[in-house]
Structure 1
Amino acid sequence: MKIACVGGGPASLYFSILMKRRNPSHDITVFERNPAGSTYGWGVTYWAELLEKLRASDPETALAISENSVSWNAGVAHVRDRTTVQPGDVGFGIGRRRLLELLGERARSLGVHLEYEHEIVAADLPDADLVVAGDGVNSAVRGRYAQQFGSDIALGRNAYIWLGTTKVFDSFTFSFQETDHGWIWAYGYKFSDEQSTCVIECSPETLGGLGLDQLGEADGLAQLEKLFADILDGHPLIGRDQGDGTARWLNFRTLTNRTWHHGNVVLLGDAAHTTHYSIGAGTTLALEDAICLAGALGAHPEPEAALTAYERRRKAELLRLQSAARHSAQWYENLQRYIDLPPQQMFALLGQRHSPLLPYVPPQLYYRLDRAVGRLEALRRFKRWLGPKLARTSQYRALAARK
């Protein structure tokens, strides 16, 4: 099969790796419009479940990614002068540029052709049996068939800016700061032993009130460094380190498509769907798309059947995460509802922000109910664990009575 992957992001590169592993005779080319090593963003996050899937799909790639990742197992939230720490599942971070380097090296070693600084325009798609559109939310390939794909983009209310910092956070760190114009907050997580990602978000009223939408990058970063001095410990915030070098305030775009394939063109990763950054699943979902598409093509001889199976499965798997992402974004858009709770309660509901019930239940009542359910579940687990032991004890007593 001759395959053309448009866009050199994680989804396209990993898909090309999996297809080459399945059949080395596939003729696969990945087209990327930017130079090699040029990318936006800082670090990406993932969890152990993804690493297990990568090990099952290509152990060599999984090993390279795990060896170049850092981890944390706790979260900390700073609200005004209060700090709350919560233990959690182990999370992992890796620099986006390093991830692309590793995937590119692995793809090249398997015989994939990587063509950088080669932009594919919608009017002139590559001649291939399969064209994989992995060129992001602004996909030119998808744009050519926007009506057929049934694309829809909804803008989020809040503004955000994606930054880096030389402050290395030991935990996944939140900082909520109150200003004269409302609340502004940051999410920080490390992706190497030298740097962290720092995403800052606020309402449009706060953005305009602070004048951040009118400031140049240097002045804007200086103001943000003052606002988040509590977590930065004197370290600077850094704008984009690639491309035009300018970090901009954006509104998150939630993309959906009625269908993910048309003719010999199929959508992958952010070209097919986006989920709000506050659940940290974008890269994971892109790699899972690649695994699913490669698997479907291997299982179904007919391309149309394969693409239909891929789309059906991934759409079903995404429903829960898309709902979680939507509710997570809404939690932050309604931050005032939760911010004055006692620190432990506020952080607990921050962890419950994916719940579809939370917006409709008074926050303190929801907290008490959640705690009660948690205690009941712990009791159930203890009784399940104790059950076999009690049964064995009863058997021993019965045997002793017979003796």
Structure 2
Amino acid sequence: MKVVCVGGGPAGLYLSILLKLRDPSHDITVHERDREGSTYGWGVTYWRGLLDKLHEHDPESARAIEASSVRWNEGVAHVGDLTTRQPGDEGHGIGRHRLLEILAERARSLGVRLEFDYGIAARDLPAADLVVAADGVNSALRTRYAHHFGTRIDTGRNRYIWLGTSKVFDAFTFAFVETDHGWIWCYGYGFGPEASTCVVECAPETWTGLGLDGADEAEGLILLEKLFAGVLDGHPLIGRPSGGAGAQWLNFRTLTNRTWHRGNLVLIGDAAHTTHYSIGAGTTLALEDAMALAGALHEQPVLSQALFQYEQERRRALLSVQSAARHSARWYEDLPRYIQLPPQQMFALLGQRHSPLLPYVPPQLYYRIDRAATRSETLRRLKRWLGPKVARTVHARTSGE
């Protein structure tokens, strides 16, 4: 089979690896429009479940990824001058540049052709048995056929910016700072021995009130360093390598598609779907897409059947993740509802932000129910039963069903 992957991110590279491992005779080329090593991005997060899957599918690249990752098993929340720390599941962080380096090296070793600094025009699809659109949320291939894919983009309310810092966080760190214009907060996590990712977010009123809407990148970083001095310990924040007149503040876009394939063209990773960054699942989902597509192509001799199987499998797997991401994003948009709670309670509800029930129960009552549920199996079952029912009712009312 001749396969062309458009986009040299984790999804496209890992798919090429898995296809070559299953059948070395596959003719596979990965096209990436940027130069090799020029990727923008700090660190990505993942959890033990993904690492186990990586070891199952390709132990060699999994060992390299694990060796290049840092770990944490605690969360820390700073709310003003108060701090609380809680144990949690083991998380992992790896630099995006290092992850792509590992996957590119592995793909080359298996005979995959990597063509960097090589863009593919959407109107001129390459001749291949299968074309994989792995070119991200702004996918040119998906955009050209948006009417077929049924693409929908919902834009979030809050503003955010993705930064790096030389401060190495020893736990997944949250910091909430109150200003005269409202709250602003950051998520920080390590991804190497000398650096961390730091994502800053705030409501649009806070963003404009602080003057971040009109600040250039240098001015914005100076202001943010002052606001988060308590957690940065004198370390700088680092913007995009290319710099520029304006800082890269964005509104998160949740992207969905009615279908993920058209003829021999299939969507994968962020080209097919996005989930809010606050649940740290983007890279995991992209790699799991690659696993599912490679498996379907191996199991189904007819391409259309393989693509149908891949799409159905991944849609089912994404339902709970996408629901969690929507509720997580809403939790931050509704921050004033929770921020005045005692830090221990606020942090506990921060950990429960994926719950579809939380927005409809008074926060302190939810906290008491959650604490009681940890001691009662009956309450745990009731909580699990109510959550999906509330979510379905709200969805039906808001969608007009």
Shared fold, TM over 0.5 = yes
Deviations 1:270-319 (A, max 9, x none): 00000000000000000000000000000000000000000001001000
2:293 is the alignment partner of 1:269:
no
Stretches of structure 2 that go unaligned for 5 or more consecutive residues are 381-401
Question: What does residue 279 of structure 2 align with?
Answer: 279
Shift of 1:124: 1.0
Larger Rg: 1
Q: How far apart, in 2, do the equivalents of 1:12 and 1:183 lie?
A: 38
Question: What does residue 171 of structure 1 align with?
Answer: 171
Shift of 1:4: 0.2
Question: What does residue 307 of structure 1 align with?
Answer: 307
Contact 1:73/1:171 (CA < 8 Å) preserved in 2? yes
Stretches of structure 1 that go unaligned for 5 or more consecutive residues are 381-403
Q: 3-state DSSP class of the match of 1:266?
A: strand
Question: What does residue 250 of structure 2 align with?
Answer: 250
Quick one: percent identity of the two aligned structures? 72
Question: What does residue 155 of structure 1 align with?
Answer: 155
Contact 2:278/2:329 (CA < 8 Å) preserved in 1? yes
Contact 1:38/1:242 (CA < 8 Å) preserved in 2? no
Question: What does residue 109 of structure 1 align with?
Answer: 109
Question: What does residue 367 of structure 1 align with?
Answer: 367
Q: How far apart, in 1, do the equivalents of 2:8 and 2:125 lie?
A: 15
Change in Cα spacing, 1:245 to 1:52, as seen in structure 2 (3 Å) is farther
Question: What does residue 94 of structure 2 align with?
Answer: 94
Contact 2:137/2:274 (CA < 8 Å) preserved in 1? yes
Contact 2:215/2:247 (CA < 8 Å) preserved in 1? no
Deviations 1:323-378 (A, max 9, x none): 00000000000000000001110000000000000000000000000000101249
Shift of 1:248: 0.6
Partner AA of 1:252 in structure 2: F
2:326 is the alignment partner of 1:326:
yes
Change in Cα spacing, 1:63 to 1:364, as seen in structure 2 (3 Å) is same
Deviations 1:8-49 (A, max 9, x none): 000000000000000001000000000000112100000000
Question: What does residue 83 of structure 1 align with?
Answer: 83
Question: What does residue 193 of structure 1 align with?
Answer: 193
Question: What does residue 230 of structure 2 align with?
Answer: 230
2:70 is the alignment partner of 1:70:
yes
Q: 3-state DSSP class of the match of 2:201?
A: strand
Question: What does residue 52 of structure 1 align with?
Answer: 52
Question: What does residue 387 of structure 1 align with?
Answer: none
Contact 2:373/2:379 (CA < 8 Å) preserved in 1? no
Q: How far apart, in 1, do the equivalents of 2:209 and 2:379 lie?
A: 50
Q: How far apart, in 2, do the equivalents of 1:303 and 1:254 lie?
A: 29
Shift of 1:121: 1.1
Q: How far apart, in 1, do the equivalents of 2:241 and 2:175 lie?
A: 23
Change in Cα spacing, 1:318 to 1:9, as seen in structure 2 (3 Å) is same
Contact 2:190/2:196 (CA < 8 Å) preserved in 1? yes
Contact 1:184/1:206 (CA < 8 Å) preserved in 2? yes
Q: 3-state DSSP class of the match of 2:376?
A: helix
Question: What does residue 125 of structure 1 align with?
Answer: 125
Deviations 1:52-88 (A, max 9, x none): 0001100001001000000000000000110000100
Contact 2:4/2:29 (CA < 8 Å) preserved in 1? yes
Shift of 1:241: 2.5
Question: What does residue 397 of structure 2 align with?
Answer: none
Q: 3-state DSSP class of the match of 2:90?
A: strand
Question: What does residue 203 of structure 1 align with?
Answer: 203
Q: How far apart, in 2, do the equivalents of 1:329 and 1:83 lie?
A: 23
Partner AA of 1:207 in structure 2: W
Q: How far apart, in 2, do the equivalents of 1:33 and 1:309 lie?
A: 29
* C-alpha RMSD of the superposition: 1.4
Change in Cα spacing, 1:251 to 1:379, as seen in structure 2 (3 Å) is closer
Change in Cα spacing, 1:128 to 1:318, as seen in structure 2 (3 Å) is same
Shift of 1:144: 1.3
Partner AA of 1:163 in structure 2: L
Q: How far apart, in 1, do the equivalents of 2:332 and 2:178 lie?
A: 14
Q: How far apart, in 2, do the equivalents of 1:246 and 1:208 lie?
A: 14
Deviations 1:155-178 (A, max 9, x none): 000000000000000000000000
Question: What does residue 23 of structure 2 align with?
Answer: 23
Q: How far apart, in 2, do the equivalents of 1:297 and 1:193 lie?
A: 39
Contact 2:220/2:247 (CA < 8 Å) preserved in 1? no
Q: How far apart, in 2, do the equivalents of 1:296 and 1:98 lie?
A: 28
> Mean alpha-carbon deviation: is it higher for 177-186 or for 238-247?
238-247
Change in Cα spacing, 1:309 to 1:86, as seen in structure 2 (3 Å) is same
Q: 3-state DSSP class of the match of 1:120?
A: coil
Q: How far apart, in 2, do the equivalents of 1:119 and 1:20 lie?
A: 23
Q: How far apart, in 2, do the equivalents of 1:145 and 1:243 lie?
A: 33
2:222 is the alignment partner of 1:219:
no
Question: What does residue 259 of structure 1 align with?
Answer: 259
Partner AA of 1:110 in structure 2: L
Contact 2:216/2:246 (CA < 8 Å) preserved in 1? no
Change in Cα spacing, 1:279 to 1:369, as seen in structure 2 (3 Å) is same
Q: How far apart, in 2, do the equivalents of 1:39 and 1:378 lie?
A: 49
Q: How far apart, in 2, do the equivalents of 1:265 and 1:259 lie?
A: 11
